[in-house]
Amino acid sequence: MSVKMIELPYGPYDLEPHIDGKTMIVHYNQFYKKYVDGLNQMLEKYSQFADMTTEELAVSRLNIPKTDADKIRHYAGGVLNHELYFLGMTPKTTGPHGQLGEAIIRQYGSWGQLKQLMREAAASVFGSGCMYLVTEGNGVLRLNLTPNQEMPPLGTVSPVLAADLWEHAYFEKHKSNRAAYVEDWFAVIDWDRAERLFRQGQ
């Protein structure tokens, strides 16, 4: 298996003024690429894992030296976290709707109340990580915070939304102001894709 970089479904400047193009270019071409390249290098060394999916590599316990197993999980998690984040944004955002919209209202009362919980969750992450809204199936949602490039427990939950909380996701426009960045991320969520992921996770 050779891991390929995904193509963005929008131009790097299309998410402005919320997510600035200069950050997107660096984020995609340098940081995301680093994880793709790193994973490919590890798979050249351990060709026995070439048929595993990136999802499997990110969560599996591999019977190889721990240092290398940790590297594979780290690189695979970095690939997935970036892809879920990039693909989860759009310049033509709408708002929660369909079964996901109903689940948000049923469980949190409103999108506004869930946003507040997400603001608080994002602020609670010290250092680097990601914030996920995941479904446990049967219409149940929950927030999941992962440090560094770890993934939610795939197989137990399915990601619906993903926010990259590493500073390299917002350093140009927002500097170190993560709270302002999260507000801008709310404005570019691809709710159509989130609805599809929610339905698939049931």
Mind giving me the DSSP string for 55-78?
Answer: HHHHH---SS-HHHHHHHHHHHHH
pLDDT of residue 100: 98
Q: Please state, in angstroms and rounded to a whole number, the distance separating the CA atoms of residues 6 and 3.
A: 9
pLDDT of residue 1: 64
pLDDT of residue 9: 96
pLDDT of residue 155: 86
pLDDT tens digits for the chain (202 residues)? 689 999 999 999 999 999 999 999 999 999 999 999 999 999 999 999 989 999 999 998 899 999 999 999 999 999 999 999 999 999 999 999 999 999 999 999 999 999 999 999 999 999 999 999 999 988 999 999 999 999 999 989 999 999 999 999 999 999 999 999 999 999 999 999 999 999 999 8
Q: Please state, in angstroms and rounded to a whole number, the distance separating the CA atoms of residues 101 and 91.
A: 20
- One DSSP character per residue, 9-38 reads SS-TTTTTTTS-HHHHHHIIIIIIHHHHHH
Q: Please state, in angstroms and rounded to a whole number, the distance separating the CA atoms of residues 145 and 162.
A: 10
The structure tokens listed for 25 are 């270019």
